[in-house]
Amino acid sequence: MATSTLPASTDRRRSSILLKTIMAASGLFFIAFLLLHMYGNLMILSGREAFDEYAEHLRTFGGAMVPERGALWVMRIGLLVALVAHVGSAVVLWRRAGAARSVRYQVTRRSYGNFYVKAMRWGGLAILAFVIFHLMHFTWQTVTIGEAHASPAARVIDSFSHWWGVGIYVLAMIFLGLHLLHGIWGAAMTLGLNTSLERAENIRLTSIVVTTLIVVGFLIPPFAILFGLVK
Ligand code: HEM
């Protein structure tokens, strides 16, 4: 019986492309969430009441049509599914690249270390660690910066009245910015959007604009609070 390794390697290539597409799609979902979250956070610039009202609105969104926190839970489940898909695909691709590299090492004994690939992996893990810290800080309130408060606005204002509270979030935004910058570019490549030099230039520009918008937008409230512009 004639056997060939070609179908197996073709299958593997196809499944790697599928995993990269899953990473791109879940990444785009995260970006939509980040833009909405960033916009919501800017409400703090309108004062404590506006922000508390917005936080309350998140819980009652959908009115009588859905149970309290119903829409919030739909979003949370969506984020969790996207997180499992994104991290799961990354781990499988990571292991495959590692296995392929160990074969290459035996053949050539040369290192193919790639700065961007490493930065995406370790940066992604740093963002994951930040998200866990962030949920403990604002959602579960098991970690406090400053004092504990019943009002979401008071929690945010107290946290960012401390320079080190701002420092933690600045560090996280640096990791997030680097991840987004290369992630948007990579997602566009996976989705085959770079069909010409001009398009590649547009993708590069889009990744810079979206990343800047998210990072600057997220950092405006902490710095406005630190400099006493929000009381
Ligand atoms: C300076 C940056 C940020 C600030 C000030 C901030 C602030 C907040 C606050 C106040 C809440 C709690 C909202 C409530 O009262 O329920 C929250 C929830 C959350 N934030 Fe952020 N956030 C920031 C950045 C981020 C980033 C970068 C991510 C993701 C990478 C993120 C993901 C989340 C998630 C998943 C929740 C939980 C939503 C829920 O299930 O209730 N945040 N954030």
**Mutual angle of helices 6-41 and 70-108, in 10-degree steps:** 140
pLDDT of 69 reads 81
Angle formed at CA 189 by CA 34 and CA 28, multiple of 5 degrees: 20
Task: Specify if 130 maps to a domain.
Answer: yes
pLDDT of 57 reads 87
- Per-residue pLDDT tens for 60-98? 877 777 787 888 899 999 999 999 999 999 999 988 887
Task: Specify if 56 maps to a domain.
Answer: yes
Banded model confidence at residue 181, pLDDT cuts 50, 70, 90: very high
CB of 28 shorter than 6 A to ligand 1: no
Full residue range of the structural domain in which residue 71 is found: 10-226
Task: Specify if 35 maps to a domain.
Answer: yes
37 CA → ligand 1 middle, Å: 7
Task: Specify if 2 maps to a domain.
Answer: no
CB of 37 shorter than 6 A to ligand 1: yes
Task: Specify if 5 maps to a domain.
Answer: no
Q: How many domains does the chain have?
A: 1
- Per-residue pLDDT tens for 28-46? 999 999 999 999 999 999 9
Residues 6 or more apart in contact with residue 186 via CB below 8 angstroms: 20, 23, 24, 120
**CA 43 to CA 197: how far, in whole Å?**
40
Q: Which of 37, 136, 174, 219 to mutate to test the pocket of ligand 1 (most atoms within 8 A of CB)?
A: 37
Task: Specify if 108 maps to a domain.
Answer: yes
Task: Specify if 1 maps to a domain.
Answer: no
CB of 169 shorter than 6 A to ligand 1: yes
Task: Specify if 3 maps to a domain.
Answer: no
